[in-house]
Amino acid sequence: MILALALLALFAPQQTADPTLPPATAHVRYTVEGHGVQTYNCTAQNGGFAWVFEEPAAGLFDPTTHQQIGVHTAGPTWTWSDGSSITGKVLQSKPSDNPANIPWLLLETHPTGTTTGALSNITFVRRSETQAGQAPTSGCDAKNVNVVLRVPYAATYTFYSTN
């Protein structure tokens, strides 16, 4: 029996850790719902055509009160209603289980501007639980060059600090 369990453990598929989880030293400060669009532009590339990501535009909402408490814009940048703001750099990405959904991300962040507030000590942002937002796989061709497409999406944004 023990030998059978040991063999089962040896040959069972190993689960890998989610690469979009922040380091164990990070602590959740805020979790919000993002609702908005991912903007794409039909662009000529390498002898073909492709939808190229330009920017996000989303409202950030308190999951309990459903009140808007910030925005997510190009950069990527998150700005809170108190004026504090951070920009992020993607550290890790993980495809969603549904190919129509944009990937999950872990981003390292840095404050922007001089306004201190809720986002001043945030060091990581995680985008997870994504819904929709991917560019279509067709429709970008010579007739549609420079067409801008705004694809609705939703996601959970979790803000972390390491202090």
User: Residue for token digits 């890790």?
Assistant: 92
Residue 133 lies in a domain: yes
Taking CA atoms, 146 is separated from 66, 132, 138, in Å, by 35, 22, 15
Per-residue pLDDT of the chain (163 residues; tens, 9 = 90+): 554 444 444 454 555 689 999 999 999 999 999 999 999 999 999 899 999 999 999 999 999 999 999 999 999 999 999 999 999 999 999 999 999 999 999 999 999 988 899 999 999 999 999 999 999 989 999 999 999 999 999 999 999 999 8
Residue 111 lies in a domain: yes
The whole-number pLDDT of residue 114 equals 85
| Residue at 10: amino acid letter | L
pTM for the predicted model, two decimal places:
0.88
Residue 4 lies in a domain: no
Residue 5 lies in a domain: no
Residue 148 lies in a domain: no
Peptide bond into 23 cis (omega under 30): no
Contact by Cβ (8 Å): 107, 89: yes
Domain count, the chain: 1
The whole-number pLDDT of residue 24 equals 94
Write out the residue range of the structural domain in which residue 98 sits.
27-36+58-142+154-161
The whole-number pLDDT of residue 157 equals 98
Residue 124 lies in a domain: yes
**Alpha carbons 130 and 117: distance in angstroms, whole number:** 27
Residue 78 lies in a domain: yes
Residue 115 lies in a domain: yes
Nearest to 81 by CA among 67, 100, 95: 67
Q: H-type helices in 29-97, by residue range?
A: none
